[in-house]
Structure 1
Amino acid sequence: MSNLINTAISGIRLNQTALSVTGNNIVNANTEGYSRQSVSQSTTISTRTAAGYLGTGVQVNDIYRNTEKHLVDQVVQDIGALSDYDTYLFNISQTNNLLASEQTSLANAMNGYFDALNEAVNDPGSLLGRQLLMSQTQQMVSSFEGVESRLLEQNLSVNKQMQAAAGTVTSLGQQIAELNQVIADAQGGGTGQSPNDLLDERDTLVRELSQYVNVSTIDREDGGMDVFIGQNQPLVVGAETQKLIAGPGNQDSSRYELFFSKGNSLQNITRQMAGGELGGLVRFRNEALDPALNSLGRIGLAITDGINQQNKLGMDLEGSLGGGVFADINKADVASERVRADSRNSPPYNKDMSITIDDLAALTTSDYELTFPGPGGQQYNIVRKSDGEVMEKGMLSEARPQEISIDGFTLHIDEGTFTAGDRFLLQPTRTGVGQMQMQITRSEEFAFASPLRIDTASGNQGGAELLSSQVISTDTAFFAKNGSFSPPLGIRFTSATTYDVLDYSNPANPVQLDPPLRNLPFVPGSQNPLLPTDPDGTTVSTDTAVAGLLQLASTNNGYPGEVITLETTDPDTGFIKQQSVTAAAGEEASVTARRLSALSGVSATAYTQTSLQDFTAGGPGEALQLTLNGVDITDPDFVLPGESVAQDVPVPLTADFLRDRINGNPDLAALGITAKSDGVKLSVFANTGIDLNFSVDGGGSLTVGDGADLITAPLPADPAVDFTVGGKMDVQLAANTELSSDISTGLFGASPTAQKNFLGIQISMTSGSGPDGQPKAGDTFTVSYNKNGSADSRNGAAMLALGSKSVLSEGNLTYQEAYGQLAEKLGILTSQARVNQSASESMLRQSMDAMQSVSGVNLEEEAARLIQLEQHYNASARLIGLARDLFDTLLNM
């Protein structure tokens, strides 16, 4: 009988507990973080009887939470993802709106500047147009500064958001650690039961933590939970927690980074942060904010330097060479700001480093990091942060200064001692907008005119035509004195296909430049740049004793033969490229020059010249006979072109007669041989560099060359007297190229002197290709300073052309296109962020629904369970009543 009563009582107790749990579920249906609880039950130990084991009732094993860890973890992960995209979208939308807005778009500011420049260039002498340009230039600068200021404000906002989020993460970590201790104490109290409400509270804290950063957890045996954030960085381990703080970065104090703080030590974990609000902030800054600032800086640098350099190539309204419109982008203080030392670097703090911009087209929008991995402080790596590519690595030398050039900029290491572990942030473009500071204070300083004036000689007879003139650099000797171009130059054609560039300080007696630019090739009918284009190019000339030496009684030029070697050194790699030409003994300069010109980076021209004078006659019937390269120029029967009868051969010969015979002979003309006469001296010139081979016969004498060697005609019975003059060469070499010979007695000598040939200007000409349209020998063009050129706008037109010139991204983007590319990129990132945010919302809803299907309280189910439990309770109570009735019956028997 007692067994029956105990069984009934156990049922009542079980149902009382179950009713309490169900009631607790119902009243907590709307409690955030509450997990539905259930009762776990089992039968009590049966009693052995003669008839077998008899059940003794039921017992409550546990009150447990209905939860599944993988569903909880999925919700935590999805909350972190949504918070990441929400934060990213919120911040990038501001940046995108700033750059795309009609009111703040820099495209309008740049258009306004170039429109004003166009108006000013159309009337370069107008002060009104120049004043408008001054105003619009300042407006463009203010627009760039305004946008940069807004972006820097966003950076400050990111710093504050990171600081607040880091504080919340620390607080939540501390709360989780405290709950870990309480839960461990509760489970270690001997009951072995789980404190469900505390576990729910901890899970709620973990979900809240996931709003700020990715979270992963590991359950401990004592009931605690280890919490890891970002890329598995430990925040909570048991009851211990770490403090997360946001503070000034090690390399850039204006950008906050994330640190684990323990005592006085800080561990930078910014790169390990992912997900949640902090992950979104870090990702926004890396993917959008920093590239936007660098892109604006690069555009600012390009505009500033482009306008500066072009203005310096022009002449202002007052006749002076132009100066910088803006501050120099490579000023010493600006160059130093582009290098930031890491605060963790080891002493001594004596590093003097700077960055100068070399090639705007090669600049990227990335920052770079210089590291010294060790051992020692000599080995270095430079990594481009946008893609992690190692751009340069090597060993520093002990000598200072040292330069490292990559991606359009040069890192200058002027002095300092480096230690393994030292790090430096390199930001070549970040401060570019700051360089857009106007330097000119008067509108007259805009240099719209070209400082060059090209005049055509009135006596020109050929069809040579000037196409363009361009100032490439004013840092040459020709522009050393402001307001002048000295010496003035003369471009004088020596034939239809050759010309000299001469010093025309004295037009009546022009002289060769030093180094010379003579006998240069001209192609009629084509566009011909007339001057050297390489700023570092040089010229080597044949000026040794053997070159052009008069060889008496010889039909050979006397050249010994030599191996001419050219070595070109790559300034970046140090690699040396070697080329060579072997000139045979007696080889004409024309042949050697042609073979040299076939080499890479070499342009060689050859010419031959000599003079004849002091002509005397022999006895009666012994007139002096002279042959030049197989042509008898004293032939009495030769008829000049345009004449009907042959001229009488004068006795003695005259320079004028010989000039006419040489210039009128088609065979000599085909060889490029011409002559000039001053009435006394005959100058003979071969513009191809072939040998001049003379043969003297008959009677009389003459003198040849500057050395005035006497050539006496032989007796009638003797053979003719021969003499030969060999050609000389001028060899133009590309930058970093050296010429040498294997012998010191050759045309060049063992180590000839190379002189820079760059004039800082370029002139382009063309002509007709037919006989009437080609240049004529003697045609001359003079180059001088453009005085009183206030109406000239050639340099202004070149400045205006900068607006449509592709100067960025390896010459693929204009200023406007670079800005448009930035705005387009941010627009795409914003659009992708919206899509990702919408998708992550959907994913979170699904994971929340899945978790709620297990952990959530369904009131209908709980109500049905109440009815069921009530029935169970009533049945157990009825069982007790039945036991009592049976007991009463037994007592009454």
Structure 2
Amino acid sequence: MSLLNVGARALLTNQVALQTTGHNIANVNTPGYSRQSAQLVTVQGQYTGSGYIGQGVAVQTILRNYNELLTRQAAMAGSVQAADQARSDKLNQLQDVFSGGASGLGAAITDMMNALSDVVHSPTDLTARTVALTRMDETAARMRASAQQIDDLQYTVNEQLRNDVVKINSLASNIAGVNEQIARARGNGQTPNDLLDRRDQLIRELNQYIQTTQVPADDGTMGLFVGGSQPLVLGTTATQLSVSESTSYPGSGQLALYFGRSGGTPIELNPDMLGGGEVAGLMRFSNNDLAEARNLLGRMAQAMGMALNAQNRLGLTLDGSQGGDLFALPASAIGYTSSATAAGSVSYTDATQFAASDYEVRFTGPNAGQVVRLSDGKTTAFTSLADPALQAIDGLSFNLTGSGNAGESILFKPFSGSASNVQALVYSPRDLAAANPVNAAMGTSNGGTLQLLGLQATGQPDPPGLVLPADADPAATPPIVGGVLLEFHAGPPLTYDAYDQSTPLPTLLATGPYVSGQPIDLNGWRITLQGTPQDGDTVTVGNALDPQYGDIYTRDAGNAQALMDLRDVQMFDNATLQDGWAGAMAQVGTRVQSAQYAAALSSAIADNLEGDRSAVSGVNLDEEAARLIQYQQAYQASAKVLQVAQSIFDTLIQTMGR
């Protein structure tokens, strides 16, 4: 009987080994499956007077080929790779908004500024004026279209975040369910390999959306924690996540991930604590990359519009009226705060100083704190709500109307809505203020070589504003000739005196050195002369609307030239208006390249670790085929043992029966 038992055990054992090998082969393409192998042990021999006689073989357990460290490393690397890839994909879409070529915003700005050159050469040509205004309208439309593309991308990201949270909650519930099955199965003393594989695969899938920390429990369940210490899955219980607007700054549109505590207020998870996962990548893209894109576009719209508006207001239309704004722009931006008392707004003062950034006012106490430029962390301290330091930060004026307590803050997004709301305001060609409000004439008795290089209204004296020279009054006694007289003295050194001729006895306004080619600024206008004057040479600057000059202003294009010259004014981080779009493209392109490099690097790391894990846990068909032959032969040999045992037993029975 012992030989029969040995053969039977061997037959059953090799059958289990064959079944296990077949199970491996069947699951060779199953995601997350870990190769299994039958662990064979020798059955304790039976003692006889001749020693221990072996009783064959038995299956001790079905071993799961698994490396816990590699599995966790592969899951974490996959989580980081998912975050980097999600951000890289979205940045590639954002780069399409900041594109070059004839259809790009940069080309529209260039066309708009170049169109003013035709007005400069033919200020009375209504067609040239119409083309210039049309280009301005096209530029505003392209800015709005670019802003809409960013808004559409934001909507896509928000929807993807919500879908990802639904998947996270579903996977967490499934993991909790598998935890319960594993805890029950562990009661029989054996390891439920397939359930463990299923749980590991679910955890890997979960880490594609949000990075988790795994902590095993004594009952075989696995605890999953997110955001550092929040228990997403604890035993057989799964907690739900949600995504909604951040409570830090209501109304700002910023989304946040919330951990739902049972019976408590949801906890807002800091995006910096999420680590990897698609949700973390999308959050970084939304909070950082999209915010910068809006600021780059909005700063360009605000700065360009303010500069053109300011210059056009200084000029004269074909009808002799003072020019108006060319673009409709926000006058100020409100702040977002969760404080009951802190409040304020930000207004725009100097378009050449704008930084593409959001700002945060952080209170350290009543009426005191600091303004933080979020793009680079630069801070400006203030000691009261009326502190002058608040009025000159990057060309912005922070108008705080209410103070917060220590630790409270206000978020300002001064440029996020500028591009969305920019509109062209002037459509009649006659309303383009192409003419200078002042004109200049050389003295008839000048003996030097003075020549007029340029004359324009700047509105930039101290304090700002334009003060036009007075008109002539021939009826006065003695007659008033009007205007401002510049009288030059040969020196050395060369100097000039400026006289206000609005009274019978001219009043000295200013005096200063004269340098050929260097501008002279007075009362909000600037005149540039070249050449060498003789002693007593004069230049008269007059009001262009002075009746003595008639309609000469209609044929003047000085203000159109000043508008066109704005393309060379440094506005955007030392870049000119003409080059501003190229700078914005470069900043976005740098982010794209950095994200692509990070995605490629994390992908390589994740692939290597997954390869290492697969080397331990994956199924190799060649190896399984060899084992299949091995166990088949062993099975056949075991059957032969049974056959021999049966033959011996039959012979023994026949012999004893005689």
Return the TM-score normalized by structure 2.
Answer: 0.86
Partner of 2:432: 446
Partner of 2:232: 235
Residue type at the aligned position of 1:502: Y
* Shift of residue 796, structure 1, vs aligned partner: 0.8
Give CA-to-partner distance per residue, 1:868-892, whole Å, 9 cap, x none: 2233334444445555566667774
Question: Is the CA contact 1:315–1:451 (under 8 Å) kept in the aligned structure 2?
Answer: yes
* Shift of residue 295, structure 1, vs aligned partner: 0.7
Task: Choose which of 375, 380, 384 in structure 2 pairs with 1:386.
Answer: 375
Q: Measure the CA separation in 2 of the matches of 1:147 and 1:259.
A: 31
1:410 aligns with 2:397: yes
Task: Say if 1:495 and 1:55 are closer, same or farther in 2 by CA, change over 3 A.
Answer: same
Question: Is the CA contact 2:472–2:481 (under 8 Å) kept in the aligned structure 1?
Answer: no
Partner of 1:403, secondary structure, is helix
Q: Measure the CA separation in 1 of the matches of 2:615 and 2:329.
A: 67
Task: Say if 1:836 and 1:527 are closer, same or farther in 2 by CA, change over 3 A.
Answer: closer
1:426 aligns with 2:412: yes
Question: Is the CA contact 2:317–2:323 (under 8 Å) kept in the aligned structure 1?
Answer: yes
Partner of 2:361, secondary structure, is strand
Q: Measure the CA separation in 1 of the matches of 2:466 and 2:312.
A: 19
* Shift of residue 202, structure 1, vs aligned partner: 0.8
Partner of 1:305: 306
1:490 aligns with 2:476: no
Task: Say if 1:385 and 1:319 are closer, same or farther in 2 by CA, change over 3 A.
Answer: same
Partner of 2:22: 23
Task: Say if 1:224 and 1:394 are closer, same or farther in 2 by CA, change over 3 A.
Answer: farther
* Shift of residue 528, structure 1, vs aligned partner: 5.6
Q: Measure the CA separation in 1 of the matches of 2:84 and 2:2.
A: 64
Residue type at the aligned position of 2:272: R
Give CA-to-partner distance per residue, 1:490-520, whole Å, 9 cap, x none: 23346644543223124xx42335xx53xx3
Q: Measure the CA separation in 2 of the matches of 1:169 and 1:107.
A: 42
Partner of 1:235, secondary structure, is strand
Give CA-to-partner distance per residue, 1:14-72, whole Å, 9 cap, x none: 22322322232233333333222111232333444444444443332211211222332
Task: Choose which of 328, 352, 360 in structure 2 pairs with 1:369.
Answer: 360
Residue type at the aligned position of 1:200: D
Question: Is the CA contact 1:401–1:412 (under 8 Å) kept in the aligned structure 2?
Answer: no
Residue type at the aligned position of 1:363: F
Which aligned pairs between 1:589-608 and structure 2 lie closer than 5 A? none
RMSD: 3.3
Partner of 2:548: none
Partner of 2:124, secondary structure, is coil
Partner of 1:867: 629
Q: Measure the CA separation in 1 of the matches of 2:636 and 2:481.
A: 121
Partner of 1:853: 615
Partner of 1:822: 584
Task: Say if 1:340 and 1:482 are closer, same or farther in 2 by CA, change over 3 A.
Answer: farther
Q: Measure the CA separation in 2 of the matches of 1:882 and 1:265.
A: 73
Q: Measure the CA separation in 1 of the matches of 2:625 and 2:283.
A: 49
% identity of equivalent residues:
31
Task: Say if 1:401 and 1:473 are closer, same or farther in 2 by CA, change over 3 A.
Answer: closer
Partner of 2:560: 796
Give CA-to-partner distance per residue, 1:123-178, whole Å, 9 cap, x none: 11122222222222111111111111111111111100111011111111111122
* Shift of residue 119, structure 1, vs aligned partner: 1.5
Question: Is the CA contact 2:470–2:543 (under 8 Å) kept in the aligned structure 1?
Answer: no
Question: Is the CA contact 1:319–1:483 (under 8 Å) kept in the aligned structure 2?
Answer: no
Q: Measure the CA separation in 2 of the matches of 1:469 and 1:859.
A: 86
Task: Say if 1:481 and 1:132 are closer, same or farther in 2 by CA, change over 3 A.
Answer: farther
Partner of 1:478: 467
Q: Measure the CA separation in 2 of the matches of 1:36 and 1:872.
A: 21
Partner of 1:790, secondary structure, is helix
Return the TM-score normalized by structure 1.
Answer: 0.65
Question: Is the CA contact 1:38–1:66 (under 8 Å) kept in the aligned structure 2?
Answer: yes
Q: Measure the CA separation in 2 of the matches of 1:861 and 1:316.
A: 89
Question: Is the CA contact 2:84–2:598 (under 8 Å) kept in the aligned structure 1?
Answer: yes
* Shift of residue 361, structure 1, vs aligned partner: 3.0
1:182 aligns with 2:168: no
Task: Say if 1:807 and 1:30 are closer, same or farther in 2 by CA, change over 3 A.
Answer: closer
Partner of 1:289, secondary structure, is helix
Partner of 1:358: 349
Q: Measure the CA separation in 1 of the matches of 2:472 and 2:24.
A: 95
Residue type at the aligned position of 1:488: G
Give CA-to-partner distance per residue, 1:538-591, whole Å, 9 cap, x none: xxxxxxxxxxxxxxxxxxxxxxxxxxxxxxxxxxxxxxxxxxxxxxxxxxxxxx
Residue type at the aligned position of 1:10: R
Identify which range, 814-823 or 466-475, moves more after superposition: 466-475
Question: Is the CA contact 1:117–1:800 (under 8 Å) kept in the aligned structure 2?
Answer: yes
Q: Measure the CA separation in 2 of the matches of 1:783 and 1:66.
A: 93
Q: Measure the CA separation in 2 of the matches of 1:865 and 1:837.
A: 40
Give CA-to-partner distance per residue, 1:651-689, whole Å, 9 cap, x none: xxxxxxxxxxxxxxxxxxxxxxxxxxxxxxxxxxxxxxx
Task: Choose which of 336, 341, 346 in structure 2 pairs with 1:340.
Answer: 336
1:194 aligns with 2:160: no
Which aligned pairs between 1:184-263 and structure 2 lie closer than 5 A? 184-187=183-186, 189=187, 191-229=188-226, 234-250=231-247, 251=249, 253-262=252-261, 263=264
Structure whose CA Rg is larger: 1
Which aligned pairs between 1:583-662 and structure 2 lie closer than 5 A? none
Question: Is the CA contact 1:767–1:775 (under 8 Å) kept in the aligned structure 2?
Answer: no
Q: Measure the CA separation in 1 of the matches of 2:28 and 2:329.
A: 70
Task: Say if 1:883 and 1:336 are closer, same or farther in 2 by CA, change over 3 A.
Answer: same
Task: Say if 1:817 and 1:94 are closer, same or farther in 2 by CA, change over 3 A.
Answer: same
Q: Measure the CA separation in 1 of the matches of 2:466 and 2:628.
A: 104
Q: Measure the CA separation in 1 of the matches of 2:625 and 2:258.
A: 51
1:785 aligns with 2:539: no
Partner of 2:95: 96
Q: Measure the CA separation in 2 of the matches of 1:767 and 1:839.
A: 63
1:130 aligns with 2:118: no
* Shift of residue 817, structure 1, vs aligned partner: 1.8
* Shift of residue 784, structure 1, vs aligned partner: 1.7
Partner of 1:33, secondary structure, is coil
Question: Is the CA contact 1:259–1:269 (under 8 Å) kept in the aligned structure 2?
Answer: no
Identify which range, 860-869 or 63-72, moves more after superposition: 860-869
Question: Is the CA contact 1:324–1:439 (under 8 Å) kept in the aligned structure 2?
Answer: yes
Partner of 2:20, secondary structure, is helix
Residue type at the aligned position of 1:240: T
Partner of 2:476: none
Partner of 1:429, secondary structure, is coil
Task: Say if 1:836 and 1:480 are closer, same or farther in 2 by CA, change over 3 A.
Answer: same
Task: Say if 1:305 and 1:435 are closer, same or farther in 2 by CA, change over 3 A.
Answer: farther
* Shift of residue 183, structure 1, vs aligned partner: 1.0
Which aligned pairs between 1:648-797 and structure 2 lie closer than 5 A? 759-765=523-529, 767-768=531-532, 774-776=534-536, 779-787=537-545, 788=551, 789-797=553-561
* Bigger proportion of residues as helix: 2
* Shift of residue 108, structure 1, vs aligned partner: 1.9
Residue type at the aligned position of 2:360: E
Q: Measure the CA separation in 2 of the matches of 1:824 and 1:478.
A: 41
Q: Measure the CA separation in 2 of the matches of 1:285 and 1:437.
A: 26
Which aligned pairs between 1:570-589 and structure 2 lie closer than 5 A? none
